[in-house]
């Protein structure tokens, strides 16, 4: 971890006086101290200094390390908590967020049953292979066309009813040892596997949703007639630094489920 935030407008550490040398003049690239602290903490998360599920240093310790007040560290951590990168627990400390939590399971999967409570679906891996990225996939993953990708196709069922048919493309570089066996063995959400076994943590995603008609293959797997209307959700997931690390295309059967979205 870096020793202290760099401040474009003057010497780094104030450490005394009413107001620090945090802002001054009209320097071209200025950011508040707490944003710099936030960036430094994010670096610690990204570099693996603090791993998912672990405790990060206390506010007091970070304040000492960075030579700023506790309030400034607090504001930095507040934002990280708002972005779900860390979780605060009173009396215990601040923990790095992980996908191995009940509350994380439905952060990205927004398909919920029309009645009853959501629960984890059964998972049938249909296909896993390595291939060269098609142009469209390469573009969305910010790879070069022809770079290696891992392709996964799977069918998810709720209470025995096939409901989600999903295709994934992952950068081959980041997921070298990913095999069908590993996927089948692993229980729980796929993002937990990615995090634990491949050190890649998804922190944000962007989805584009359309309605499409089921083609013959999808219709058969989902057990519906050809042309049945399906939700098509195309998701690009990002890790630290807005780096795209997953493309996912899901076909959702919305006969007994719906995509839940709360706008505010």
Partner DNA sequence: GAGTGGTCTAGACCACTAA
Partner DNA sequence: TAGTGGTCTAGACCACTCA
In sequence order, the 6+-apart residues with CB closer than 8 A to the CB of 13 are 4, 20, 67, 68
**Does residue number 42 form part of the binding site for DNA (CB under 7 A)?**
no
Name the residue among 256, 208, 255 with its Cα closest to residue 234.
208
Q: Closer to its own copies at the Cβ: 89 or 210?
A: 210
Name the residue among 165, 159, 162 with its Cα closest to residue 120.
159
**Does residue number 259 form part of the binding site for its own copies (CB under 8 A)?**
yes
Minimum distance from residue 170 beta carbon to DNA (Å): 34
Q: Closer to DNA at the Cβ: 63 or 137?
A: 63
List the interface residues with its own copies, window 203-232 (CB under 8 A).
203-213, 227, 229-232
Minimum distance from residue 176 beta carbon to its own copies (Å): 27
Q: Of DNA, its own copies, none, which one sits near residue 140, judging by CB under 5 to 8 A according to partner kind?
A: none
**Does residue number 89 form part of the binding site for DNA (CB under 7 A)?**
yes
Query: What DSSP assignment string belongs to 99-165?
Result: SSSGGGTTTT--EEESSS---PPEEEEEEEEEEEPPHHHHHHHT--TT-EEEEEEEEEEETTEEEEE
Residue 169 Cα distances to 144, 152, 176, 189, 238, angstroms: 14, 7, 13, 16, 13
Name the residue among 22, 90, 33, 104 with its Cα closest to residue 62.
33
Q: Closer to its own copies at the Cβ: 6 or 90?
A: 90
Q: Closer to its own copies at the Cβ: 57 or 194?
A: 194
* Chain contacts with its own copies (rule: CB under 8 A): 82-84, 107-108, 110, 203-213, 227, 229-232, 235, 252, 254, 258-264
Q: Which residues bind DNA (CB under 7 A)?
A: 14-20, 22-26, 30, 32-35, 56, 58-61, 68-72, 74-75, 88-94
């Amino acid at each position: 971890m870096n020793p202290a935030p760099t401040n474009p407008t003057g010497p780094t550490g104030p450490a005394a006086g009413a107001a620090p040398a945090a802002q001054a003049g009209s320097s071209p690239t200025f950011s508040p101290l707490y944003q710099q602290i936030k960036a430094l903490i994010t670096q610690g998360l990204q570099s693996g200094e603090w791993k998912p599920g672990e405790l990060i240093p206390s506010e007091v310790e970070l304040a000492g390390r960075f030579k700023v007040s506790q309030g400034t560290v607090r504001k930095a951590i507040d934002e990280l908590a708002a972005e779900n990168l860390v979780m605060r627990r009173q009396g215990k400390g601040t923990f790095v967020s992980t996908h191995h939590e009940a509350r994380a399971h439905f952060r990205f999967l927004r398909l919920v049953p029309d009645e009853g409570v959501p629960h984890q679906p059964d998972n049938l891996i249909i296909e896993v292979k390595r291939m060269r990225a098609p142009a469209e996939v390469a573009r969305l993953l910010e790879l070069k066309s022809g770079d290696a990708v891992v392709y996964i196709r799977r069918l998810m069922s709720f209470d025995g009813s096939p409901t989600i048919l999903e295709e994934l493309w992952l950068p081959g570089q980041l997921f070298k040892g990913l095999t069908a066996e590993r996927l089948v063995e692993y229980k729980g959400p796929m993002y937990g596997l990615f995090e634990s076994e491949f050190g890649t943590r998804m922190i944000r995603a962007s989805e584009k949703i359309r309605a499409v008609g089921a083609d013959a293959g999808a219709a058969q797997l989902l057990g519906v007639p050809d042309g049945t209307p399906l939700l098509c959700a195309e998701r690009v997931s990002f890790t630290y630094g807005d780096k795209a690390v997953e493309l996912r295309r899901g076909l959702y059967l919305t006969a007994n489920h719906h995509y839940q979205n709360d706008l505010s």
